[in-house]
């Protein structure tokens, strides 16, 4: 028998057991701030479900997404992200025999939860999904940064940090138009800049990486199946890419640009070939792949791993297959 859905209650702590990692997801947005955006504004907001239904017609013309059963504004689109995480929660929960906890920086009821011991005490893998728009001005506090530094000293921890795409980071409308035509997603405006909170973690924790662009992966002709990743197998010491050839097709994935850093090792584990049939400033500059998964192994006082991977890799809103599921399970058990 399965149990019913619950909401608006405190998380029940999970007991530590070797070999049973405890995963927690942290959505960095303020749900009310994102949901209350003026829909007359074109830039830097999520779509409404009405807009999703129009662009994706007739995919959402079902009773489940009718106005009697589903939120029709921006809030409905935020709920789509929650729903798309369920497959990941189920797969990892089965692999670890521990439920995956899900938190929001500010939830639907306006309750703010910073990253602190209430989240970290029973978490081995923390997944920070950077889906807050830059305009929201979300930033990590000094207390949060110190809590994460302390937590990462614990051997076996893993921070998976996913700053999202940065589309249209210019006032030049000509370049914005090229970017828009490159990704081809009519639901993404000419400027959609994400991840103020995640970027504050990059700065505050001195992590040598920056999220840029929104790039469309190359696909097998006539399909939405991405061409295989370029995996640095010799660097994959954890075995996270064993049996993994592809991750996910998403029209605008961030490039994780590695910065000059003499202080800590950082490795690009997987690169995704770009759709070169669609011009883009990044590929026009001679780049044929973008960095999709980057890893910082334990170093010095830091006993935990840091992995950079976009949130779309862990949701099924944009599809998924056995290779993607294998990646999830590898992260859960290796």
Task: Tell me the pLDDT of the chain averaged across its residues.
Answer: 96
Residue 324's nearest CA partner among 255, 234, 229 is 229
Cα–Cα distances in angstroms (integers) from residue 334 to residues 14, 115, 231, 235, 329, in the given order: 19, 25, 17, 15, 8
> Is 85 a member of any domain?
yes
Q: Provide the residue range defining the domain that includes 44.
A: 23-333
In a domain, 151, yes or no: yes
pLDDT per residue as tens digits for the range 106-137:
999 999 999 999 999 999 999 999 999 999 99
φ, ψ at 102 (rounded to 5°): -125, 125
pLDDT the model gives residue 316: 84
Model pLDDT, residue 3? 76
Per-residue model confidence (pLDDT) at position 4:
80
Mean pLDDT over residues 179-190, rounded? Answer: 97
Average pLDDT over residues 46-69: 96
Residue 266 included in any domain = yes
Number of domains in the chain: 1
Q: Is 12 among the domain residues?
A: no
* Residue pLDDT, tens place only, 231-261: 999 999 999 999 999 999 999 999 999 998 8
CA–CA distance, 21 with 35 (Å, rounded to integer): 33
- Give the residues across from 267 on adjacent strands: 295
Please indicate, yes or no, if residue 125 is contained in any of the structural domains.
yes
Flag whether pLDDT at 318 surpasses 70: no
- pLDDT of 320 above 80: no
Q: Report if residue 153 sits inside a domain.
A: yes
Closest CA to 118 of 108, 105, 135, 133: 105
Query: Is the residue at 121 inside a domain?
Result: yes
Model pLDDT, residue 7: 82
In-domain check, residue 6: no
| pLDDT tens column, 249-292 | 999 999 999 998 877 899 999 999 999 999 999 999 999 999 99
Residue 14 has pLDDT above 70, yes or no: yes
d(CA 5, CA 127) in angstroms, rounded, equals 22
What is the domain-level CATH number for residue 270? 3.40.50.880
Classify residue 206 by its DSSP letter. Answer: T
* String of DSSP letters for 150-161: HHHTSTT-EEEE
Q: Hey, CA dihedral for 196, 198, 201, 206, is it positive or negative?
A: negative
């Amino acid at each position: 028998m399965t149990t019913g859905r619950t909401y608006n209650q405190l998380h029940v702590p999970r007991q530590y057991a070797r070999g049973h990692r405890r995963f927690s997801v942290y959505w960095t947005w303020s749900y009310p701030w994102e949901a209350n955006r003026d829909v007359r504004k074109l830039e830097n907001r999520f779509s409404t479900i009405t807009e999703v239904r129009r662009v994706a017609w007739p995919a959402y013309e079902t009773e489940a997404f009718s106005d009697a059963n589903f939120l029709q504004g921006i809030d409905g689109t935020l709920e789509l992200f929650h729903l798309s995480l369920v497959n990941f929660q189920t797969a990892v929960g089965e692999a670890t025999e521990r439920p995956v906890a899900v938190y929001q920086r500010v939830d639907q009821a306006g309750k703010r939860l910073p990253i602190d011991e209430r989240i970290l005490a029973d978490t081995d893998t923390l997944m920070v999904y950077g889906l807050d728009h830059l305009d929201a001005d979300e930033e990590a506090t000094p207390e949060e940064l110190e809590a994460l530094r302390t937590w990462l000293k614990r051997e076996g921890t893993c921070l998976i940090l996913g700053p999202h795409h940065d589309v249209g980071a210019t006032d030049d409308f000509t370049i914005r138009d090229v970017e828009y035509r490159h990704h081809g997603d009519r639901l993404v405006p000419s400027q959609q800049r994400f991840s103020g909170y995640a970027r504050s973690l990059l700065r505050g924790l001195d992590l040598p990486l920056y999220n840029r662009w929104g790039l469309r992966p190359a696909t097998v002709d006539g399909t939405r199946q991405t061409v295989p990743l370029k995996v640095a197998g010799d660097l994959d010491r954890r075995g996270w890419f064993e049996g993994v050839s592809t991750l996910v097709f998403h029209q605008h994935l961030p490039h994780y640009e590695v910065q000059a850093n003499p202080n800590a090792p950082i490795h690009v584990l997987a690169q995704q070939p770009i759709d070169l049939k669609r011009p883009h400033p990044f590929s026009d500059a001679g780049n044929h792949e973008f960095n999709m998964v980057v890893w910082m192994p334990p170093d010095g006082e830091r006993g935990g791993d840091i992995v950079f991977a976009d949130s779309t890799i862990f949701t099924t809103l944009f599809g998924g297959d056995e290779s993607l599921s294998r990646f999830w399970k590898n992260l859960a058990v290796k």
